[in-house]
Amino acid sequence: MSGSMSVAGTVEAAAQVVLVAAGSPLLVGVMRQVKARLEGRAGAGVLQPWRDLRKLLRKEAITPDGTGPVFRAAPLVLTATALVAAGIVPIATTASPLDGAADLFAVTALLALGTVALALAALDTATAFGGMGASREMTVLALVEPTILMSVFALSVPAGSTNLGAIVNSTLHEPQRVASPVSLLAAVALAVVVIAEAGRIPVDNPATHLELTMIHEAMVLEYAGPDLALVEWASAMRLTVLLGLVANLFAPWGIASADTAAAALAALPLALAVFAVKVAVLGGALAAGEVFMAKLRMFRVPELLAGSFVMALLAVAASFFLA
Amino acid sequence: MTSVTGAALSASLGASLLAAVAGAALPRRVRPAGAGLCTAVAGAAAVVAGVAAMTGRSWSAWLPELLPLAGVRLAVDPLGGLFIAVTGAVAVCAAVYGVGYARPPRDGHGHGLDGRTVQAVLPLFVAAMLLVPAAASVSTFLVAWELMALASLLLVVAEHRHRASVGTAGLWYAVMTHLGLVAILAGLAGLAAAAHGESFDRLRAAAEGLSPAVRGAVFVATFAGFASKAGIIPLHVWLPRAHPEAPSHVSALMSAAMVNLGGYGIVRVGFDLLGGGPVWWWLLVLAAGAVSALYGILQAAVATDLKRLLAYSTCENMGLVLVGLGAGGLLLTAGARPPAALALTAALLHVVNHAAFKTLLFLAAGSVLRATGLRDLDALGGLRTRMPLTTAAFAVGALAASALPLGNGFVSEWLLLQSLIGSLGEGGTISAVTMPVAVAALALSAGLAVATFVKAFGTGFLARPRTPQAQAAAESPATMGVGMGVAAACCLALALVPAFTAPGLAGAVQVVLPGQDALTGQVTLRLAAASSTVSPLLIAVSVVGAVALLRIAMIRRARRRARLWDCGMGPLNARMEYTATSFAEPLQRVFDDVLAPETDLNVTPLAESAYLVESVTYRARVGDRIERRLYRPVVAAAAAVGEAARRLANGSVHRYLAYGFGTFTGVLILLAVTR
Amino acid sequence: MKDLLRKIRKTGRVAEDPPERPAGDVPDALGELGGSVQLRHVDAGSCNGCEVEIASAFGPVYDAERYGARLVASPRHADALLVTGPVTRNMEVALRRTYEAVPAPKVVVALGDCARDCGVFAGAYGVAGAVRDVVPVDVEVPGCPPEPEAIVAALRGLTGR
């Protein structure tokens, strides 16, 4: 890679971090708006999550008695991992300088690191709800991991690499691969785990007020003000990154993968716009789907995840036997 | 003879003996310090020897007078050097830590750890573990192996006066380790007999020409023995008993150094001496490894005894190592040498990583045990403010053990996954069927490991203390802190710049697969067998940088302390916290078909009415199902046979004479008939 | 699922058109909240009449969420407390602690006649007093129970939208 290429890659990676950072609350706004309209409401508007974040940042933070450094650091770690993941994942470019630093395993492990930080913070508060949320979140995480890795496995077989840029480039060069059984099975499996990881219905309900049904929300009951803003912002970014991952692994068209630095930079605005549209469509579809579903019982969730795991396993088997 | 390796190894063994003498002779007051210091020097010298050997300075020696009949044959090649270096490093940490650990806590009674036996046997245990990978003949290997088993057995039962469970653990360990020795002895003796010689060079040369049946029998016998030492399911039963009951620095030595030698034995015999084998060998290894990884971490996930949890985590990690070895063997059989080298490199790197973080975790657990007298996570909690150093140490170890980025376990599990994924197309249909299953097992065990260590750290060290003992905990002495600090530094180095191990690992792998260099790159790890890359350092720098930026952005926000939100009631007390048991309950419920937890629910109604309840008692226990199903019947049968045999020996001299006469006559008749 | 889809299509938008924004300034404390107010509802001893009206204020017809108000699960996440009912002795400490748990800036809305001056429960043995006797009140919404329009108007006064 030439020097100007890596400079361009850095600019592009920075652009996609900025896009995710600025756009993820809007994605949440779009999803809430879609849900509101389907429920016959007017909705608070797409900008409402940003208003919420702005307000939370202006409020005071609270350190509950008996909590320590883990509680203080967890929102920072959660947000940092989401930001770094946004720099790695091919959103607008496949030439991110971090692409070689982390592959799909590393990205999922990085996101898991954020979850772990939050779970430890929840345990640190020593409240029953915190412990409950941490326990449930870790159970879901443990069961989601196999499916993610198997989907990665299935997707990496044709590309010969688990690096995201390589997978995306390989799909760009052979677009017919998207319609193969391998890809479709892996897509369904990955979609289920993305829903589980992002804490959406039917695995978790982000809008619940009832502690006993909470997973993610139960862990953040003690956070206030800027801390809460970070947690909410990070959740939105994680959702964006995960949806973006699904979008670009299975429909990477529009991403800037030009051979020269100037061409890559020129294609950047279009790539960012296309990505925004793709994620908005996926998010809208997810939100629309949520209107039709109820949250599953906690102990039915493993069945759902086992189903997605079987699909991922079939995808891997198909990738070998159909190749 | 005069090479760095030889000199350092001799110095190390000499220092161990000196430490043993010091442990036996010094007065009690200075005994732990003297013996510990000498053992630490021995460990450091062993690290030098191992590293020298890994970087190509092999060494061998032949000491015919040392043992009668066979003599002692030693040879340190890069593969042995790797294990010598790991053992040495663990010994340094454990020995320094042991100085403080053996000193009785201020208020409490001593545990007898500064007694002569423990202090003198510990260095001998280290020496024996250094001799095993240095042995170059069957007899030397077996003597060192048995010395290691005996020394560790004595250390396991060190605290038998204080807890009855120690005796049971020792008995299980003694039986299992000797059955393992019998298996290895049978295998290696058979190999030596078939090869007409007992030096490893001789075996290596002769192994090619042996019949497949002999080679298979040798492999299976030695594999059984080595697997039992490595704590592989279903031969693991001694491990979750012995590791928790042993003194913690001994647990660290056993769990981080001794079990590795099981893996070493498999590599040495399977790959080196026998030169690889048919597919079924490696499928056996792979399957045993995958089952071990899953079952081990599942048991760890529901364990509430901190040291038992760590012991089961050892089963898991050794399982992962075996998955790597099995995949390597399969690929080698299929002729795919670069992926095979990658799999072996991943397995060996995982040995190193596991040694680093498991040492740290056991030492931290020992620190907690010493300060509180507790191993039960349900009774701990709140150690964060009381034992900040120990908490930080455990955090580093737990991060590594959960295989997340910024921890060293991540690097080797990543390599292992890459080797499995890369081998899909290499080994034909067999690997196409096995590799996805292996990846799935690996992935599930990685996920469960995260839950396990969140539980261990979150309920044990964070939150608030659940018992007065945890409330009264105080930080451990400085020497224990130094021991943990060295181990933590190793973990961090391995996590951030794992590339520094690449030349050594390459040397060790090249003993088996000459000319293969699986891992290159300084900051970014590149693989010879796959095009995937990862850079732990860049990830760490990015995350830490982002945290720092966010911290700066947040620093000027107003912040106040407030009462914990208790729904307006309260105050919340420790009984309302989630315990380790409740944390693991969802997982236990999801996997109850495998774990088969035993629950007891007793409802006592009032005498006046069956509808009014006087008391409810509920007990839940997750036992080791394999032990219950597989070993209990055997133990019961052995006991029954023993009981029946008592009638043969009723103390009557007449009867014994009759036995002698009968046997003699029988032999004479037999001879008469057969001649 | 098909039935639900048909129903969604047939029903269309239920929310009524927003009325004019009521006159009056946003309380100073909330000026910087900028169109977003999270509410923690505290039932200090209500007969649940007000709760029914709150539910309809946040239902599709009145849709209070469109003005930036939202009910949340923890006082730590809240900017305002929505207190209903006279404060009973059992809830007095709890209400005070809930108020302390809210991060500044914060306001209290006393919703309904009972919350304002104990209503029909005034002088009852189990009643500790009106909400303003326990925590400082910024906004009062009269009515027994207040109509959803009144609740929405009060909330719009907080969010300024």
**CATH number attached to the domain at C35-159:** 3.40.50.12280
Per-residue pLDDT reduced to its tens digit, A279-318: 999 999 999 999 988 888 888 999 999 999 999 988 988 8
C105 neighbourhood in chain A, CB within 8 Å: 59
B410 neighbourhood in chain A, CB within 8 Å: 106, 109
Q: Do A62 and B559 touch (CB under 8 A)?
A: yes
Determine the residue among A17, A53, A76, A220 to mutate to test chain B binding: the one whose Cβ has the most chain B Cβ atoms within 10 Å: A76
Q: Out of B417, B539, B565, whose CB is closest to A149?
A: B417
For position B480, what pLDDT does the model report?
93
What is residue A259's DSSP assignment? Answer: S
ipTM exceeding the 0.85 mark:
yes
Least confident range of B374-383, B387-396, B550-559, B662-671: B550-559
Q: Do A28 and A237 form a contact (C-beta atoms < 8 A)?
A: no
Determine the residue among C41, C62, C63 to mutate to test chain A binding: the one whose Cβ has the most chain A Cβ atoms within 10 Å: C63
Per-residue pLDDT reduced to its tens digit, B264-310: 999 999 999 998 889 999 999 999 999 999 999 999 999 999 999 99
Q: Is residue C20 very low, low, confident or very high in pLDDT (cuts 50, 70, 90)?
A: confident
Shortest distance, CA A311 to any CA of chain B (angstroms): 12
Residue with token string 């030009």: A258
Question: Is the dihedral angle over the CA atoms A164, A169, A170, A175 positive or is it negative?
Answer: positive
For position B513, what pLDDT does the model report?
87
Nearest to B243 by CA among B256, B228, B234, B226: B256
Least confident range of A46-55, B451-460, B642-651, C89-98: B642-651
H helix intervals, B29-137:
31-54, 78-102, 116-134
Q: Which residues contact B120 (CB under 8 A, 6 or more apart)?
A: B20, B21, B23, B24, B35
Q: Out of B436, B532, B582, whose CB is closest to A161?
A: B532
Please give the mean pLDDT across all residues of chain B: 91
C100 neighbourhood in chain B, CB within 8 Å: 562-563
Shortest distance, CA C65 to any CA of chain A (angstroms): 6
Shortest distance, CA A38 to any CA of chain B (angstroms): 34
Q: Out of A66, A141, A145, whose CB is closest to B564?
A: A66
Shortest distance, CA A250 to any CA of chain C (angstroms): 27
For position A5, what pLDDT does the model report?
62
Q: Do C101 and B558 touch (CB under 8 A)?
A: no
Nearest-angstrom CA–CA distance, B590 and C136: 49
For position B108, what pLDDT does the model report?
52
A45 neighbourhood in chain C, CB within 8 Å: 66
Nearest-angstrom CA–CA distance, C29 and A131: 34
H helix intervals, B303-336:
306-333
Q: Do C103 and A42 touch (CB under 8 A)?
A: no
A102 Cβ under 8 Å from any chain B Cβ: yes
- Report the chain C residue with the minimal C-alpha distance to residue A290: C1
Per-residue pLDDT reduced to its tens digit, C25-35: 666 666 677 78
Question: Is the dihedral angle over the CA atoms A301, A302, A304, A305 positive or is it negative?
Answer: positive
Q: Do B564 and A222 touch (CB under 8 A)?
A: yes
Q: Do B557 and A57 touch (CB under 8 A)?
A: yes
For position A1, what pLDDT does the model report?
42
B297 neighbourhood in chain A, CB within 8 Å: none
DSSP states of B247-307 as a string? -HHHHHHIIIIIHHHHHHHHIIIIIIIS----HHHHHHHHHHHHHHHHHHHHHHHH--BHH
Which chains have 3+ CB pairs within 8 A of C?
A, B
A116 neighbourhood in chain B, CB within 8 Å: 402, 404, 450, 454
Q: Do B568 and C91 touch (CB under 8 A)?
A: yes
Nearest-angstrom CA–CA distance, A211 and A185: 35
Q: Do A42 and C4 touch (CB under 8 A)?
A: no
Q: Is residue B1 very low, low, confident or very high in pLDDT (cuts 50, 70, 90)?
A: very low
For position B277, what pLDDT does the model report?
87
The pLDDT of B651-670, averaged and rounded, is 92
Shortest distance, CA B525 to any CA of chain A (angstroms): 8
Shortest distance, CA B523 to any CA of chain A (angstroms): 9
The pLDDT of B654-659, averaged and rounded, is 91
Question: Is pLDDT of B504 > 60?
Answer: yes
B571 neighbourhood in chain C, CB within 8 Å: none
For position A264, what pLDDT does the model report?
77
Q: Which residues contact B412 (CB under 8 A, 6 or more apart)?
A: B346, B349, B350, B352, B353, B354, B498
For position C26, what pLDDT does the model report?
66
What is residue B404's DSSP assignment? Answer: -
- Report the chain A residue with the minimal C-alpha distance to residue C30: A55
Nearest-angstrom CA–CA distance, B317 and B351: 8
Q: Do B349 and B498 form a contact (C-beta atoms < 8 A)?
A: yes
Shortest distance, CA B550 to any CA of chain C (angstroms): 21
Shortest distance, CA A112 to any CA of chain C (angstroms): 24
B443 neighbourhood in chain A, CB within 8 Å: 145-146, 148-150
The pLDDT of C67-93, averaged and rounded, is 94
Q: Which residues contact C131 (CB under 8 A, 6 or more apart)?
A: C44, C83, C87, C95, C108, C110, C115, C116, C137
The pLDDT of B114-122, averaged and rounded, is 89
Report which of residues B498 and B651 the model is more confident about: B498
A45 Cβ under 8 Å from any chain C Cβ: yes
Angle between helices B502-512 and B337-372 (to 10 degrees): 120
Residue A316 in tokens: 């891997």
Question: Is pLDDT of B102 > 90?
Answer: no
Which residues 416-455 of B are in CB contact (within 8 Å) with A? Answer: 417-418, 421, 424-425, 432, 436, 439-440, 442-444, 446-448, 450-451, 454-455
Per-residue pLDDT reduced to its tens digit, B229-261: 999 989 999 999 999 999 999 999 999 999 999
Nearest to B127 by CA among B24, B62, B42, B38: B42
B569 Cβ under 8 Å from any chain C Cβ: yes
Nearest-angstrom CA–CA distance, B270 and B329: 9
For position B569, what pLDDT does the model report?
82
Q: Do A55 and C32 touch (CB under 8 A)?
A: yes
Per-residue pLDDT reduced to its tens digit, B313-356: 999 999 999 999 999 999 999 888 888 999 999 999 999 999 99
Low-confidence ranges of chain A (pLDDT < 50): 1-2
Q: Out of B558, B565, B570, whose CB is closest to C75?
A: B565
Q: Out of C91, C93, C101, whose CB is closest to B565?
A: C101
A321 neighbourhood in chain B, CB within 8 Å: 432
How many residues are recorded in chain C?
A: 161
The proportion of chain B whose per-residue pLDDT surpasses 70, expressed as a percent, equals 99
B562 neighbourhood in chain C, CB within 8 Å: 100-101
Q: Out of B538, B539, B572, whose CB is closest to A126?
A: B572
| A/B interface, count of CB pairs below 8 Å | 255
Report which of residues B668 and B109 the model is more confident about: B668
Question: Is pLDDT of B216 > 90?
Answer: yes
For position B575, what pLDDT does the model report?
87
